[in-house]
Amino acid sequence: MVRRGGHAVLLLDRAGWHTTGSLCWPKNITPILLLSRSPELNPVEQVWQYLRANFLSNRVFETYDDIIDAACEAWNSLIAMPDTVTSIGTRAWAVIGQS
């Protein structure tokens, strides 16, 4: 929800459900579509990579509920570390200048 009088910019990958012609955006939301096949540009992909590397990898889960519990525990651990959340979305980009 966008507050009254506000405007939101929504960053999206190019999943079919984000690009379908039948999707109707409210006037106060501007979608920005990322380049195709570029997960490094999608901040949530960086979050999942961090969660997998630090909480969820090299584990065997007995049940679906065990997977859900582990993912929730990982998420709650991550959001308790705001500096880490900030650093996950920070990237150093190479800039190639024109000659």
Residue 48 identity (one-letter amino acid): W
Per the CB < 8 A criterion, the answer to whether 73 and 66 are in contact is no
Residue boundaries of the structural domains of the chain: 8-37, 42-88
pTM of the model: 0.62
Tens-place pLDDT, residues 50-68: 999 999 999 999 999 999 9
Give pLDDT, residue 75.
96
Tokens of 73: 């525990």
Q: Going along 13-65, which residue ranges are E strands? A: 29-33
